[in-house]
Amino acid sequence: MRVSVLFAAVLAGYVCISTAHAQPLFVSHAGRAAYHSVQAAIDALPAQGGDIQIAPGIYREKVKLSKSGVHIKGSGKRPDDTVIVYGDGAINVGGTAHSATLDASGDDFQLDNLTIQNDYALNPANSSSQAVALSVTGDRDVITRVRLLGAQDTLFASKGPNGRMSRQYFGSCYIEGHVDFIFGDAKAYFRQCELHGLANQAVVYTAQSKGTPDEDSAYVFDHCRLTADPAAGYVALGRPWRPYATVIFLSTKMDAPVIAEGWREWTPGQTNKLRTANYAEYKSSGIGANPAGREPHSHQLTDSEAAKWSLSAFFGDATDWLSGVPPR
């Protein structure tokens, strides 16, 4: 019987994961290590999941995780110390969903203090292909102090293939890419994360895909920071992948030259999704903040409207899986 997860503390603004699972499995390149790959350790876990700690190093492998209750943590001092990297692109593996370096579909998944990278686009010839670093589609998933490195479609945060909504929390993460690099239709909350646009002719931070008015999905970015490479062109907050895309920025520092309109149509001149999308901001600051110039269908929230998108309001009463995250 799986023991519920408790969080121990919040240190230096980071959520520190503590689990009740005994005896974690250790992954290392050291000769005497029981597991030399992350996938081997995942495969060795029982059906109810368990803990995995990964020693510093670069692990070049493609990882797939469908068990629930799996908790993976890098044991280095910084997320940069432990890197899981692979280089698949959608164009050569049969679609975007198959390109992920780490594909996590199990519930109660936790990931902490490491880097996940898809380096397919490091070859300039591959720069236009979708290449996912992390695909996360389980429910009650917690991602903290994780660096997600890619280019187009870096993070797929979405509901599972069975259509069940997925609740996900991202805290103190760094996510980089260019076109649509955070995409999908999870009910996902990002707190104190940095979103960084790479040098490219276009940077679009989000492509949320809420498809119907009654679907319970949205992306909320709370006290995050937007940055961009000096060579990044046409920087937009998001475009609606589906007609009811919902993205909310709360007290976000926009240190990137976001276009005055903020948001753009999925395919300008061909689609008309901005009129039904729910795009909103509250107290944005920095050079990319421009309330007066924003797309007319987007919103600037009042204090009371913004409160409805707080962490506690967003996830409601069933938040035992976030017991270590302070409400705001």
Residues marked as catalytic: 153, 180
- The set of residues, in sequence order, having a beta carbon less than 8 Å from that of 295 and lying 6+ positions away, is 261, 262, 263, 264, 274, 279
- The set of residues, in sequence order, having a beta carbon less than 8 Å from that of 163 and lying 6+ positions away, is none
| Gap between the Cα atoms of 114 and 100, Å rounded | 16
Alpha carbons within 13 A on the beta-carbon side of 61: 16
How many whole angstroms from its chain centre is CA 104?
12
Q: Are strands 246-250 and 25-27 parallel, antiparallel or unpaired?
A: unpaired
E-strand ranges in 198-250 read: 203-208, 218-222, 225-228, 235-238, 246-250
| Gap between the Cα atoms of 272 and 270, Å rounded | 7
Joined tokens for residue 194:
């940095």
As a whole number of angstroms, the longest Cα–Cα distance in the chain is: 62
